[in-house]
Each structure stands twice: as structure tokens, then as C-alpha cells.
Amino acid sequence: MELIKIKRKPRRSNLLLIFLFILNFSCGAYIGIEMGGKQETTYLTVNLSMVYSSEKKSWINSIIDEFFFHMLTKFGIIVKMDFQPMGSRSMVISTITGEIKPTIFSPASSIWLNYTNIKLASMGKRPLIFPDAVQTTIYSPIVIGTWNLFNLNQTWNITGFKSLQKIPILRWSHTDPQLSNSGTMSVLMEVAAFLGKNVTDVEFGDLFDPEMRANMAWAESRIPYYGASTGFLAKKALDGTLDVFMVYENLIIDMNKKDLAIARGGAMAVYPEEGTLLADHPFCILAGDWVDPLEAFVAKQFLNFIKEPEIVAEAIKKGFRPIDNSILYEQKFSEIFNKTFNEDLAGVKKVIPCNIFDPNVKFEILEEIPELWTVVRAGG
């Protein structure tokens, strides 16, 4: 951390005021020199690092300027933000191995929190994630995406994973579960659907069920490619090579802002009748020895900041649902929600109409999913 001297505090969070901030700094320095430099104010600089799942990049990018000015005006701290988007499984592995050492850790789903601590324990390391340092603010369910053009969902009555078997020429995809949270969640949901079980009721032995594996092998053989990230998969779906695709609900909303989606009648979300998992985007302040008290303080302020109704509203605009629904009691926020979650315009339902699985997936199941996926892809 370092000390920086500047002359004025910016008061608003937009690009124009960033420019004015720099201009005032330069002019103030000159005037200060000319007048004896008696009015300098000292600001503390703190680095804040975060790794976060890439699908919330647009929301994070929309609020970082405001957080900068919030910390400057309220605490006199200049925060240098090193915020890096990354696949959830990749960030877990990189954090466990020590390849990266973020202060804030934000995978797409809480399914990775217990998994991370157990993996650390298996390596003789202490846990990095404690419940009192975890916050969830927004969420988005995994959905089956398809197209309104030719009423594909109505023609084949797409209702869930099992219904895909009725489509004679199926072109569908999910992301790589070795890299992406949505890929892991999709395969978990696929396994549970073909077993006829709730995700949290799946036992390790169930992963060797021959009928389930045969159904999965058939379904996986209809996938032409796997995306490294859910955002990438959504972009690929827009080129017309996929009829069905597993994505987060917020990406259906985002897709429907694109001309390619509009030309195809719009993307739509099918909520699997077997149930879905939520990407609930936990934000965790890691208990790493690399996090000093001042960095932890700034990280805590960031977690407090993203709970503010105006900041949550920015996430709603991007297609995320608020964990705390009380924000919707205020008219201006409910209007934003109703405009965003509009079935006719955005292709998503206002209320999630299917069962939501518990995120406490057994460690051994999460550990085995990539291996199961590799085997069934080969027809096993």
C-alpha cells in the first residue's frame, strides 16, 4: 500500500467525472505549487484482487467506478482493483494450488465452497472459506435454451433432459465440466434426470448405473462441441448451429438483445421439469495469509457495497435475480425487474416454475463428474 496526495475528491461515479478528477488533480497540483501547497489531502492506496465467474462480468464492470468513488469519498481510500473473470472450476483449482491468491473469490455457485475446503484439507492445508465471510446477493438458474423460430419447443414439447430423446435430429450442447461451472451443473442435472433423483440424493454408486450411462452417452453423442465458458456457448448458439443449449437464465435475456436472436424469433428458457440448480454467485473473502487486515477491510466494504439496492438493480438489469426479494417492494426496482423478466421480450419467466435443487452436492460426486463425462462421451 502507498500514500498518494491529491487535491480534490470526485463526487460522482461516471467516466466524465473520472476525467474531471484527473483534471482537478493536475490543476490543483499547479495551484498548490503557486500558492504554497497548503491544502493537500493524503489518500491511502489499497490493492483489492478478485477472481469471479465470467458471466457476471458486465455487472462487475458497470459498478467498479462507483465503488472507487464510494471508497474515496467515504474512507479516503483509493482502491486499485485487480478483478479477473475466470471459469469456476479453474479458479478453484488455481486457488487450491496457490497459482492465484485473490482476496475475494466468487465462483458461479456455492457448490464449490465446501468442495474447495475439502480439497485443501486433503492436501494438508487449512480452509480458506468460512461462512461468516461469504455473501450471496444475486442468482440465476441453469435453463435449457432453445428458439421460438418454428416453435421448436412446442413441436417437440421440450420439458427437460428426458424430452430431448424425442427429437430425431438433436443439436445441443453444454460447456466443458472440466472448466466451467455450468458444464458441471448441467452434467449433474443430466445424471439426476436419467436416474429420476434429486441432485443431492445421487450417491457415488449411482454414477455407474448402466441405464443412466447409456442415456447420457446417447445425449452426449448429439453434442457437436463444448464451450469453455457459458458466455462463449451462448455466442456460438447465436450462429444457428445449436437448437438446444444449457446456459444461465441471464444469458437468455442477454441473447435476446442481439439481432441474430431476434431474427430467429428470440431465444427462450425452458426450466427443466426434473429440477434445476442455481448459480448463486457467492462472494467470499478468503482467509489466506496473503490478505492483510486493510485488504480484508476493503473487501468487506465491497461486499457491503454490492448489497445496496441501487447496485443490485444494476445486476437485475443484466438478468440476475436478487437474493433479497424485499428490494422489489420499492416500485422503481420492481419496475426494473418486471421489464427485465418479461417472457414476451426476454424469453424468461417471472417466477421459476420448477424445483430448485439444494446446492450441497456431495464432494465425491463433484469430484467424479469430469471422469463420468469423459467416459460417457466415449460411449461408455
pLDDT tens digits along 301-327: 999 999 999 999 999 999 999 999 999
Contacts of 241 (CB under 8 A, 6+ apart): 171, 224
Q: How confident is the model at residue 11 (pLDDT cuts 50, 70, 90)?
A: very low
What cell numbers appear for 354 in the block?
A: 420448477
Average pLDDT estimate for 196-202: 92
* Nearest C-alpha neighbor of 161 from the set 192, 185, 200: 192
Q: Which fold has domain 139-279+340-377?
A: D-Maltodextrin-Binding Protein; domain 2 (3.40.190)
Average pLDDT estimate for 88-116: 94
Chain segment 16-70, per-residue pLDDT in tens: 444 444 444 444 433 343 434 445 567 899 999 999 998 899 999 999 999 999 9
In sequence order, what E strands does the chain have?
2-6, 41-52, 77-85, 104-106, 134-136, 138-147, 172-173, 244-248, 267-270, 278-279, 282-285, 321-322
Average pLDDT estimate for 156-178: 90
Per DSSP, the three-state class of 175 is strand
CA 249 to CA 139: how far, in whole Å? 9
Q: What is the pLDDT of residue 152?
A: 62
- Going from the C-alpha of 238 to that of each of 149, 154, 242, 349, the distances in angstroms are 13, 20, 8, 21
Fold equal for 2-136+281-338 and 139-279+340-377: yes
For 2-136+281-338, the fitting CATH number among 3.40.50.720, 3.30.565.10, 3.20.180.10, 3.40.190.10 is: 3.40.190.10
Contacts of 270 (CB under 8 A, 6+ apart): 143, 144, 145, 146, 153, 158, 159, 160
Check whether 2 has a pLDDT greater than 60: no
Average pLDDT estimate for 86-96: 91
**Inter-residue long-range contacts of 163-169, CB under 8 Å, 24+ positions, other chains counted:** 163/273, 164/219, 164/222, 164/244, 165/215, 165/218, 165/219, 167/243, 167/244
What cell numbers appear for 73 in the block?
A: 469519498
Instruction: Specify the pTM.
Output: 0.85
Average pLDDT estimate for 204-208: 96
Domain range summary for the chain, segments of one domain joined by +: 2-136+281-338, 139-279+340-377
* Nearest C-alpha neighbor of 188 from the set 199, 196, 179, 172: 199
Q: What is the pLDDT of residue 179?
A: 86
CB atoms under 10 Å from CB of 96, counted, come to: 18
Per DSSP, the three-state class of 314 is helix
- Going from the C-alpha of 64 to that of each of 116, 147, 359, the distances in angstroms are 27, 34, 29
Tell me what the pLDDT averaged over the chain comes to.
87
CA 285 to CA 132: how far, in whole Å? 9
| Locus of grid cell 417492494 | 329
Average pLDDT estimate for 65-92: 95
Q: Contact 330/324 with Cβ under 8 angstroms?
A: no
DSSP string, 120-169: HHHTT------GGGEEE-EEEEEEEEEETGGGHHHHHT--STGGGGG-SS
What cell numbers appear for 281 in the block?
A: 454467485
Chain segment 257-267, per-residue pLDDT in tens: 998 888 888 99
State CA 167 to chain mean position distance: 30
User: What percent of the chain has pLDDT above 90?
Assistant: 70
CA 12 to CA 16: how far, in whole Å? 9
**Best mean pLDDT range from 1-10, 34-43, 263-272, 327-336:** 327-336
Average pLDDT estimate for 228-251: 90
Among the listed ranges 6-10, 352-356, 359-363, which one has the minimum average pLDDT value?
6-10
